[in-house]
Amino acid sequence: MADPWIEAYTFAVEIAKKAGAEIRKASESEIKISTKSSTVDLVTATDVRVEKIIIGALKEKFGEDVHCFIGEESISKKGACILTDEPTWIIDPVDGTTNFVHGFPFVAVSIAFVVKKELEFGVVYSCFEDKLYKGRKGQGAYCDEESIQVSDNIDINKSVIISEFGTDRTPSKVKKICSTMERILKIPVHGIRGTGTAATNMCMVACGAVEAFFEIGIHCWDVAAGAVIVQEAGGVVCDVDGGPFDLMSRRMMCANHIDIANRVIKEIEIFPSERDDGQ
Ligand code: IPD
């Protein structure tokens, strides 16, 4: 059977590259910053403009009312995001806004497509590195045109794990994050890393540079595209308690192998975070 979403997939790659070029151009001018949920949760005029460009292009291509859209910047103004069975684009125009503001060169455009609540494909464009990661359900994962696979190392003591501190500075949460990092270091693992963009972190798992990445407090637009890419590269995506991955839960663990995921999960001190769908 012909792939019903091939046109959408191809177009997502095209528009992610265009959006990335806009971000690169914008990084050369003065960056205007505002804040969202906290004083360290940054947004720039570029986030808003690039999201408009992406959604505008998708609407023009596929029709105004045919698809639904969950975009980081449009949603943060309106509140909860509801995922229906309709074909839905989930977009983070600038994943790694803090990096963008500071000139730390890991910034990604993340575009995922979901139908009947199932992820169909994901595209992540790391725009300063000029690397395009993509994954289509059942068709593998790629970095540019090269097929990618997760690491085959299942020895936790030889692993590198990614996690992030996020943007919530509630003292009790910061304490749990730091304590979790300490526990993981003491396993011991070879190292803990973080690129400052969840989408790129997931691509690092997908291409075998690290064994796992997890975070509590991320949003669906940070992880939707990366989730398909990791799975298509042979990895696993689940909840930070080992249960099934829930796109709206704001919790995500992905790894090259379930044994690595489960070993890291043993050390995670989970804290509550409000769901993206407000339920
Ligand atoms: C952030 C990045 C970061 C993660 C934060 C996210 P944004 O996304 O993905 O790595 O730690 O939790 O909010 O705000 O730059 O799109």
**Domain range annotation of the chain:** 6-147, 156-265
Question: Taking residues 254-258, what's their average pLDDT?
Answer: 98
| Per-residue pLDDT at 36 | 87
Superfamily of domain 6-147: Fructose-1,6-Bisphosphatase, subunit A, domain 1 (3.30.540.10)
Q: Does the CB atom of residue 235 touch ligand 1 within 6 A?
A: no
Do residues 191 and 131 touch, judged by C-beta distance below 8 A?
A: no
Residue whose C-alpha is closest to residue 23's, from 86, 82, 100, 76: 100
Could you give the CA distance from residue 32 to residue 140 in angstroms, rounded to a whole number?
38
Task: Supply the pLDDT for residue 78.
Answer: 63
Q: How confident is the model at residue 76 (pLDDT cuts 50, 70, 90)?
A: low
pLDDT of residue 32: 85
Question: pLDDT digits over 141-183, tens only?
Answer: 999 999 999 999 999 999 999 999 999 999 999 999 999 999 9
Pocket lining: 93 vs ligand 1, CB cutoff 6 Å: no
pLDDT tens-digit series, residues 137-150: 999 999 999 999 99
Q: Whose CA is nearest to atom 2 of ligand 1?
A: 197
Q: What is the CATH topology of the domain spanning 156-265?
A: D-Maltodextrin-Binding Protein; domain 2 (3.40.190)
Tell me the CA–centroid distance for residue 273 and ligand 1, in Å. Answer: 15
CB of 273 shorter than 6 A to ligand 1: no
The predicted model scores a pTM of 0.97
**CB atoms closer than 10 angstroms to residue 26:** 19
185-233 tens-digit pLDDT:
999 999 999 999 999 999 999 999 999 999 999 999 999 999 999 999 9
- CA 167 / ligand 1 centre spacing (Å): 7
73 in contact with ligand 1, CB cutoff 6 A:
no
Using CA atoms of 235, 239, 241, 243 in order, give the dihedral in degrees to the nearest 10: -90
Q: State pLDDT tens for residues 13-57.
A: 999 999 999 999 999 998 889 998 889 988 999 999 999 999 999
